[in-house]
Structure 1
Amino acid sequence: MVMNLKYVDPAYMIRTVSTNASNTVYFRLLAQSVVHGAVAGYTSYISSLINRRQTYIPYSVSY
């Protein structure tokens, strides 16, 4: 019996899904937040949205 096994990388599946308008707005806001933090001189932080507000969370708190 011959079997063909195909592996589909989950990362590839994520990249092939098209985005909708809310994803585009959300990720644009996150990208802008990261740039603002970097230009402000912050290091070792995670940029996030909490209650619709841009936040900078230090790595020491995040894990």
Structure 2
Amino acid sequence: MGAKRVLIERADGKWGWQLIGSNGSDIIATDGGQGYNSEDFAREMADKVIGGHYADAEKKIRRRD
């Protein structure tokens, strides 16, 4: 069994997502907590991130001041 993408309806009415490991308890990736206004948009963003849509994003390191 592989990882699972889980959409979550939050108490504030927004939607989030998590990528859960095959053991069912490890969170591999998440939306970061900002939430989305619709289930469809949360699904779309999760699919883009998980599917590698942003794989060619510029990579940077931010150092503490």
| TM-score, normalised by the number of residues in structure 1 | 0.28
| TM-score, normalised by the number of residues in structure 2 | 0.28
Answer 1 or 2: higher relative contact order, Cα 8 Å, separation at least 6. Answer: 2
